[in-house]
Amino acid sequence: MNDQLTLDETVDEGWVAHLRDLSTGVVPPTSANPHAMSREAIRRTRTRRAVLSTGGGVLTVAAVAGAAFALGGPTTGGGLLPGGSASAGADASTSADLSRSADLSRSEKERRAKEVREAAIAALASAGVPDGWEVHELEGLTYALPAEIVSSGPVQDEPGVTSDMWHSSEDPDAPPFLRIAYVTPDYEFYDTKAGGLTQTPGREATSFDLSGATTATVEDGSSQELREIMAMPAGDGAAEPVRILVHRADGPGRYLITMTLPEGNSELVEGFLDSLRLN
């Protein structure tokens, strides 16, 4: 007995063809959409190009600005770059203006001081300075000396002292010798003995008139006290000491004038006293 099942059912070829068409349309699932990935890649490429283009422009502007700064020129045509400030330029301009103002102030003071000196010299000349005498000035005091008495050059003064030294052009080692000194309270011996000299009149001092002075005195070789102070013995016939003291009325400044003169120079002392002016 044959138990084999015989299939004699007819196969539907149309159905088979339909299934075959369906199988060709089916694709395995993927983790990403290739079309979406392509669109994203294109978008990123365009964005990167735009960023690079913009960044290149910024770098160009920065390079130009840096070069202008290094060359000391302006970075713009009169305007400020974004984020810039005018305060630095204003401060520099203000500093320059103050410096110019200080320079002008100093120049003005120097000009006025020169005018005062010239006016004092002119006043002395008009007052009858002896012929052949020359007018000089020291810290507001003008005086005249014969032309043959010349300067001994710069003086190494102590603090608080400014002085001029004079001697004869004929014989620098022989009298006359003159020292005109201006002293201030900064001088260590302002109101005490210093090297045998004091800044207060001696007992035998004689006063004379001088506008602008509270004290104006003169002492000569007839004063034994002065001879002792200046270490010049009396009666040697070689030289005569003279000391002139002038105290300014408008401040603490004082003038200490000492002379070592040959005998018989009273005319020199008188002419010198007549020429004194306080500016």
Neighbours of 215 (CB within 10 A): 17
Residue 177 pLDDT class (50, 70, 90 cuts): very high
Q: Is 5 within a domain? A: no
Does a structural domain hold residue 192?
A: yes
Give residue 239's pLDDT: 80
The residue ranking higher by pLDDT, 15 or 136, is: 136
Q: Residue 81's pLDDT band (boundaries 50, 70, 90)?
A: very low
Residue 31 counted as domain residue: no
Is residue 47 one of the residues assigned to a domain? no
Cite the DSSP H helix spans in the chain.
13-25, 34-70, 87-126, 224-229, 266-275
Do 164 and 179 touch, CB atoms closer than 8 A?
yes
Each residue's pLDDT tens digit, 86-124: 555 666 677 777 777 666 777 887 787 677 666 666 665
Least confident of 42-51, 128-137, 157-166: 42-51
User: What is the value of pTM for the model shown?
Assistant: 0.56
Query: 9 vs 170, which has greater pLDDT?
Result: 170
Domain count, the chain: 1
First to last CA, the chain: 164
CATH of the domain at 152: 3.40.1000
Q: Is 194 contained in some domain?
A: yes
Residue 29: inside a domain, yes or no?
no
Enclosing domain of residue 234: 110-278
Show contacts of 166-172: CB within 8 Å, 24+ apart. Answer: none
Partners of 167 in the β-ladder: 150, 177
In a domain, 126, yes or no: yes
* Domain assignment present for 34: no
Tell me, what DSSP letter sits at residue 150?
Answer: E
Residue 219 host element (H or E) = strand 213-219
